[in-house]
Copies of this chain bind each other. A is one copy, B any other.
Amino acid sequence: MTDSRTTDMLKAQLDTPCLVLEAELLDQNIRAMAQWVASGNKRLRPHAKTHKCSVLARRQMEAGAVGVCAAKLSEAEKLMDAGLRGILVTSPVAAGRIDALAEAAKRDPGIMGVVDCPETVRCLQEAAQRKSVRLKVLVDVDPGMGRTGATVEGGIDLGRFIRGCSALDLVGLQCYAGHLQHLPSYAERCARSRQALQAAARVFRQFQEWGIANPIFTGSGTGTYDADCEIPELTDLQAGSYLFMDAEYRQIGSAEDPLRFRRFRPALTLLATVISANQPGHVTVDAGLKTLFPGRVPPEILVPDHPGLSYEWFGDEHGKIVCAAGAPKPALGSRVELVVSHCDPTVNCFDRYYVIRQGRVVDVWPIDLRGCCW
């Protein structure tokens, strides 16, 4: 079995390493976030950079999402190929890609980009005029991370400048606090995120004063989604990882943190096989750095099947399953199921998800945005 995978098989028969999705947990996560967001009178515009899969984007929309986000224009183009519309590209577009963004607006006038400086605004205006399109633009506001985004004052100035551009439509602002999503303390994480969004809300209120109709204020992530909903001005959440839950997000949870234990379950796992078992205290599996991207915490071995085991990276191609004293050593040829460490770049290494119900492969979904990084 190489590329021509069928759905007429058991999970236990899949070649490893491979990514599997437990359909029931996935549906539950999709519903849980949709319900949470609706209950706070917010909208969900989840990030496709996490799953890189147009089938999943569509399922999120069917469950109530108002749209999806893409990190790069090439991701948005793939989503458009699959029929999705109104995509928000959350990274400022590179200089060489501005014409392509204007081209994309011909296919979908609803596509949205973000800007954080006057120079890019000028380039967008020129490209839109050259291509005879209008471009929807959000101001990117820096949450104090220094990665992309203008200051609050700068964001207001930028909004004013965009309003003066004949081919651009100012539709809102973005403030994404990526640096806070994995802070270990729930209280600190939420407090700092609220503080960043509260500051950015000034830009939103200015846009309202200017009479911008229903401006978008998008931000938030899986680490702070609940606290962020307390910001009245925030309109859209762009969380992504809630869909899968990886070991990094599970690890930051604590008893006081509703995130970890209650709402979202690990829907995405990686299957690996023991290929060497010559050592007393560990075995070697066929999944290493190329298939389990190294995040802040190691992949989590799913219990109850494997008590006393832990995963350590063992080079590009292999993983080490360390057995605590007294833990039974997995047999040669047996399988280990792992919650991946950091889901986004791990998913980006694979071409497909195997969708599982009751131990059977019920579907195969292409990771059709994989590798789209430009």
A interface residues with partner B (beta carbon < 8 Å): 1-2, 13, 15-18, 49, 71-72, 74, 77, 91-97, 100, 116-117, 119-120, 142, 146-151, 154, 178, 273, 275-279, 282, 284, 286-287, 289-291, 293-294, 314-318, 320, 332-333, 342, 344-345, 348-351, 370-371, 373-374
Give the shortest distance, in Å, between A16 (CB) and chain B (any CB).
6
Q: Considering the chains assembled together, what is the distance between the CA atoms of A290 and B294 in angstroms?
A: 11
- Contact present for B92 and A275 (CB under 8 Å): yes
Q: Which of B18, B71, B92 has a CB less than 8 Å from the CB of A316?
A: B71
Q: Which residues of B contact A92 (CB under 8 A)?
A: 275-276
Cβ contacts A to B, 5 pairs, < 8 Å: A15-B96, A91-B317, A146-B279, A290-B373, A349-B371
Q: Which of B49, B117, B370 has a CB less than 8 Å from the CB of A317?
A: B49
- How often does this chain occur in the complex, in copies? 2
**Extra pairs beyond A91-B318, A289-B293, A291-B373 (15, CB < 8 Å):** A2-B77, A72-B317, A91-B286, A94-B273, A94-B275, A94-B333, A95-B332, A96-B333, A146-B282, A147-B284, A147-B315, A286-B373, A289-B342, A317-B373, A351-B371
In the complex, which residue of chain B has the Cβ closest to the Cβ of A90? B317
Give the shortest distance, in Å, between A70 (CB) and chain B (any CB).
10
- Contact present for B316 and A345 (CB under 8 Å): yes
Q: Which of B287, B318, B370 has a CB less than 8 Å from the CB of A147?
A: B318
The answer to whether A117 and B276 touch (CB under 8 A), given A94-B333, A95-B333, A316-B345, is yes
Q: Which of B151, B294, B316 has a CB less than 8 Å from the CB of A49?
A: B316
Give the shortest distance, in Å, between A112 (CB) and chain B (any CB).
16
Give the shortest distance, in Å, between A353 (CB) and chain B (any CB).
13
Main secondary structure on chain A at its contact with chain B? Answer: loop
Q: Which residues of B contact A2 (CB under 8 A)?
A: 74, 77
Please name the 8 residue pairs, one residue from A and one from B, whose CB atoms are nearest each other, closest first. Answer: A95-B333, A94-B273, A148-B276, A15-B374, A71-B317, A92-B275, A290-B345, A146-B279
Q: Considering the chains assembled together, what is the distance between the CA atoms of A13 and B91 in angstroms?
A: 20
- Contact present for B100 and A1 (CB under 8 Å): yes
The answer to whether A116 and B276 touch (CB under 8 A), given A147-B314, A373-B291, A374-B286, is yes
- Contact present for B95 and A273 (CB under 8 Å): yes
The answer to whether A148 and B318 touch (CB under 8 A), given A276-B92, A278-B142, A332-B95, is yes
Q: Which of B77, B294, B348, B351 has a CB less than 8 Å from the CB of A349?
A: B348
Q: Which residues of B contact A276 (CB under 8 A)?
A: 92, 116-117, 147-149
Q: Which residues of B contact A342 (CB under 8 A)?
A: 289
- Contact present for B349 and A373 (CB under 8 Å): yes
Q: Which residues of B contact A316 (CB under 8 A)?
A: 49, 71, 344-345
Give the shortest distance, in Å, between A335 (CB) and chain B (any CB).
9
Q: Considering the chains assembled together, what is the distance between the CA atoms of A334 and B148 in angstroms?
A: 16
- Contact present for A16 and B117 (CB under 8 Å): no
